Amino acid sequence: MHASKLQNNLVLKITIAAAISFGLAACQKGELDELREAQYCLNKAGTGQAAACVTGLRSKSSQEASKLVCASIYIDDGFGSPAQIADAISRISEPGGSCTTSCSGSLNAMTTLKFSGSPIAVAKAKLTDATNFCSKSGVTAYATITAFFGVGTLMSQFDDLGPGSTPTEITDALAAIEPAELGNVILQTYGASCADPENVSESNQEFCTEMALAVNSTNGSPAAVGACLQARLADPNLTVCP
């Protein structure tokens, strides 16, 4: 799938450059004003500036507030451009990607889609924040992107991966993740990402299939889900978890 189509189907939903349609009936006038002010702020915000735009929205329970907080996390970490995420997602089916037949193409995107931060606890805190707000946003794309970032961030603590990483480097970093930690991210994002097949973009079908195997063919515990996903990402031919 071309990057331009990905932007239309997925990535433009994660950027705040376009106006979000707020549910007027669901929001009181005071909150609606806060949402509009936060969106205006995010439209101009760059890396390291977006978090301050949504401080007042973090305590709100509406999906509209969660959408803006979710978007702010990515903008704040330097992912304010739709092209950045589109280019990474396009590597899933890229013939020249590091992982083609020896490991899942989803991993090609995950080497780039990761939160920054040193020590790694900083990046993990961003992941926890994104998992919390993006899964409550009601937007499939938000939850899907967070699942990708979840695996990428957790792998990054073991190796500084990138587009040029070898399959061995990628799968070694994947295997080093604590299964329960990975499973928690997947369990929190899978339902919002893949439960409705009609809302899953073509580019994300493979990862949804992989998450579905991990969630539905195990006992559902975080450790079992994480271990199953690790095995499936490392071996695209796996149909039953060990």
Tokens of 15: 């950027």
Cis peptide before 222 (omega within 30 of 0): no
Spatial separation of the C-alpha atoms in residues 62 and 194, rounded to whole Å: 21
> 199, 154, 147: which is closest to 177 by C-alpha?
154
175 three-class SS? helix
Give the pLDDT of residue 27: 52
Secondary structure letter of residue 96 according to DSSP = T
pLDDT string in tens for the chain (242-residue length)? 434 434 444 444 444 443 344 444 445 557 788 898 998 898 888 899 999 999 999 999 899 999 999 999 999 998 876 666 666 666 665 545 577 778 888 898 898 889 998 889 999 999 999 999 999 988 888 888 899 999 999 999 998 888 888 899 999 999 999 999 999 999 999 988 887 767 677 767 888 899 999 999 899 899 999 999 999 999 988 988 87
Give the pLDDT of residue 93: 58
* Residues 6+ positions from 149 with CB-CB distance below 8 Å: 113, 114, 115, 127, 130
Residue that has been written with the tokens 């331009």 in this structure: 4
135 three-class SS? coil
42 neighbors 71 (Cβ within 8 angstroms):
yes
pTM of the model: 0.83
Give the pLDDT of residue 8: 40
Give the pLDDT of residue 30: 74
Give the pLDDT of residue 51: 94
104 neighbors 208 (Cβ within 8 angstroms):
no
